[in-house]
Chains A and B, each alone.
Chain A
Amino acid sequence: MTSKAPESLRTSLTREVRRTRTWALSLLAVDVVLLLLIVLHRAQQTYLFEGP
């Protein structure tokens, strides 16, 4: 049975930082998309009700 070498703190932190950054940026992208959808929907409603 092969034993794995212990991972250094720096390596594990680097991986953790990368994973957290990916999640954070994905969530921010979702935020932007949702915000755009809401704004566009509101603009469309205003256009429909008030006319050009």
Chain B
Amino acid sequence: MSMGRHRLRVFEGERRAYDAAYAELEALLLSHGPLLPDDRTILESILGSSLSVDWERTVSRELSAGRLRRVFIGAEAHLTRIARDARAGSPPLDPDRQIPNGTATDVAFGERVEVDVLRERLVLYRSLLVGGFLGAALLLREALLLFL
């Protein structure tokens, strides 16, 4: 099997996983009812994109299915808290603060996801650095042999 086809299969798997996760989140949102604007903002910050964004675009932003799964778990936790607050009769949002009560874990979660992304990027750039260094060494040797 060619490498290209293998990669395509992996990509299709990611799409299916993303599709399932997205449908799950949609069902969660529908079961919760209309979201308050602030809830929407928080959820969007957890998701890292607009809630109405089409998933093609998000997949192209290199969100892996695994990472997406964790993001959805965070969103689910937040929705559960909103529903619990609503059942208890207390307003879910603290009007004096931008960040509602009880969402510190969501913020921490978002930060953890961001740190994961940064770590992945660091690995990528380090690989590029090593590759670039080896390439430069080989080409320099070649150039020296040519010119001297």
Interface residues of A, Cβ cutoff 8 Å to B: 9-10, 13-14, 16-17, 20-21, 23-28, 30-31, 34-35, 37-38, 41-42
Interface residues of B, Cβ cutoff 8 Å to A: 111, 114-115, 118-119, 121-122, 125-126, 128-129, 132-133, 135-136, 139-140, 142-143, 146-147
Contacts of B122 in A (CB 8 A): 13, 16-17, 20
Give A38 to B141 CA distance when docked, in angstroms. 11
By beta carbon, the residue of chain B nearest A34 is B139
List the 10 closest A-B pairs by CB distance, nearest first.
Answer: A27-B132, A34-B139, A24-B128, A13-B118, A20-B125, A24-B129, A31-B135, A28-B132, A21-B125, A24-B125
Report whether B147 and A41 are in contact in the complex, using a CB–CB cutoff of 8 Å.
Answer: yes
Contacts of B140 in A (CB 8 A): 34
Residue in B115, B129, B147 whose beta carbon sits within 8 Å of that of A10 in the complex: B115
Report whether B139 and A38 are in contact in the complex, using a CB–CB cutoff of 8 Å.
Answer: yes
Q: Enumerate 18 A-B pairs (CB-CB under 8 Å) in ascending A order.
A: A10-B115, A13-B115, A13-B118, A16-B122, A17-B121, A21-B125, A23-B129, A24-B128, A25-B128, A27-B128, A27-B132, A28-B132, A30-B132, A31-B132, A38-B139, A38-B142, A38-B143, A42-B146
